[in-house]
């Protein structure tokens, strides 16, 4: 089993005919993901290496049975693309696009809560359930099917930590790169809830970073609702206060949002917190022993 994506995922790619969209879509398909359609307005009737192109997401749902969308459109069109997918009844939208204005995402966030659509991203690497489906830009070569769930604000840390898990023979059920923008879709609590309910996930890794209070709220959820072991890492122990580091959401104000404060909250909830990325796999191996 897995969360979000599996063998039944039927993918439509908004922006398939663009360079990045084509490249990553074909990689996803070669991994085994069912890529059933692409959407580029005005290019209906064309195809990309056998993948049919439609003018709208609704057409791809009706004619190709798409149930998941991946978005590779420019930032100024991305919010509208998310809303179009939600209106078409797509169950999951994975928005890879970065640089979407916060005001646009605030409107999307408000709207999408009234739909049955789950959003991952924006500015994220996507989701992979190893051996089943890959939606996004996570390199499947570093992944291994298994029973460890992983959710991260940082895409780069997904790649590093998953690789180190795989090197130790520790496989993953699903890896979720939720993105680091201040306003985003699925978060830590959503993923923790899903992994806790997944009978084929034995342990959960949470990778956060400085700024905001997502990790502190996740710690409260773990304390009250999660019985499976959780291992975490918080990027930014050496980050200077008041300076944005990396993602738009990664800024510390005063004493709030620091890596130390987040680690303290997680440890108080029973989570083992690594002090560097390479230590995560070691803590996971110990917890599973």
> Catalytic site residues?
247
With beta carbons less than 8 A apart as the criterion, state whether 210 and 235 touch: yes
Structure tokens at 36: 């059933």
Q: Per DSSP, what are the bridge partners of residue 71? A: 14, 95
Name the residue with tokens 């069912």.
Answer: 34
């Amino acid at each position: 089993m897995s969360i979000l994506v599996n063998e039944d995922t039927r993918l439509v790619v908004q922006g398939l005919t663009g360079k990045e969209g084509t490249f990553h879509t074909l990689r996803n398909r070669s991994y085994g993901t069912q890529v059933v359609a692409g959407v580029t307005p005005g290019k209906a009737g064309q195809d990309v290496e056998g993948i049919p192109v439609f003018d709208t997401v609704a057409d791809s749902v009706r004619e190709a049975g798409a149930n998941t969308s991946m978005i590779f459109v420019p930032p100024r069109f991305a919010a509208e693309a998310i809303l179009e997918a939600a209106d078409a009844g797509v169950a999951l939208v994975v928005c890879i696009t970065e640089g979407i204005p916060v005001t646009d995402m605030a409107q999307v966030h408000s709207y999408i809560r009234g739909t049955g659509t789950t959003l991952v991203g924006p500015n994220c690497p996507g989701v992979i359930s190893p051996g089943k489906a890959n939606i996004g830009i996570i390199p499947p070569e570093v992944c291994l099917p298994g029973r460890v769930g992983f959710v991260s604000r940082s895409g780069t840390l997904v790649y590093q930590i998953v690789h180190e898990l795989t090197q130790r023979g520790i496989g993953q059920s699903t890896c979720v790169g939720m993105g680091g923008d201040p306003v985003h879709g699925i978060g830590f609590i959503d993923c923790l809830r899903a992994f806790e309910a997944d009978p084929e996930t034995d342990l959960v890794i949470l990778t956060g970073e400085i700024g905001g209070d997502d990790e502190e709220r996740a710690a409260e959820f773990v304390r009250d609702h999660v019985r499976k072991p959780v291992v975490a890492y918080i990027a930014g122990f050496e980050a200077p206060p008041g300076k944005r580091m990396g993602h738009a959401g990664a800024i510390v104000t005063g004493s709030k949002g620091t890596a130390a404060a987040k680690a303290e909250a997680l440890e108080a909830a029973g989570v083992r917190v690594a002090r560097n990325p390479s230590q995560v796999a070691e803590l996971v191996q110990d917890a599973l022993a």
